[in-house]
Amino acid sequence: MKFKNKVAVVTGASRGIGQAICVAFARESATVVGVARSDLAETETAVKNAGGNFIAHNADLGTGTQKESAEVIAQILAKAGRIDVLITNAGIIRRAPAKDFSEADWNAVIATNLNSPFFLMQAAGKWWIETGRAKSPENSRLKIVNIASLLSFQGGITVPAYTASKHGIAGVTKALANEWAKERINVNAIAPGYIATENTQALRADAARNRAILERIPEGRWGAAEDIAGGCVFLASGDSDYLNGAVLNIDGGWLGR
């Protein structure tokens, strides 16, 4: 019941990690706002089965503009009344050798993975500082959790735009934490390891890469979306009120190897 009477907004909520995060918050009695450009019916069913309330919000965050993100936050506030938790999970990946990487792919990845999360945080933070905090219970907080990556620390292979965007997410997380901690806003991030989702299908299908990845992970397995969801619940709860500007690795021990 950690999130009873609280609203948790999750982008990229239609499948994978985003859907698992929605279900995790539902189990703690949150009202979950799922944001995605694709159909959210499956997530809505899963959330309701887990005991939570669900609000579907269809939006394409691919343009990454300030106006688009501000409108999404305003529309969610109109539907849900408030925002207590914002999880910026939506992301895309494009794979190509650096010498052949197209401008279109570069711009699409940066817009979705970096521009959009920043402007969503900006709009939610502005609402909290100017309006939401005064109307909230004493000592309550706005919790923001960004989904970073192992490639917030490493270079990766044939994913230059994705790597740049995830390095950027780690930096913006720290920058906003520095500025907003005094406003009772916690901004942290989770860096997932190798998780079995649609984005990693190409790696898992490549026998050599799959074997090399598993050999380095001390846990000896690909992570599940649910492994990331638990970390989001922790960072969004009162248990982490003194944690700000952190990038939490949930990677089966990969970075410690």
Helix (H, G, I), strand (E, B) or coil at 46: helix
Q: Name the active-site residue from 25, 162, 222, 254.
A: 162
Helix (H, G, I), strand (E, B) or coil at 142: strand
Q: Sheet harboring 185-192: ordered strands across?
A: 53-58, 31-36, 7-11, 85-88, 142-147, 185-192, 247-250
Bridge partner list, 191 = 249
Answer whether 76's CB lies under 8 Å from 136's CB. no
Answer whether 87's CB lies under 8 Å from 22's CB. no
Task: Give the residue from 29, 169, 170, 36 showing the smallest Cα distance to 90.
Answer: 36
Give catalytic status of residue 162 as yes or no: yes
For the annotated catalytic residues, the residue numbers are 162
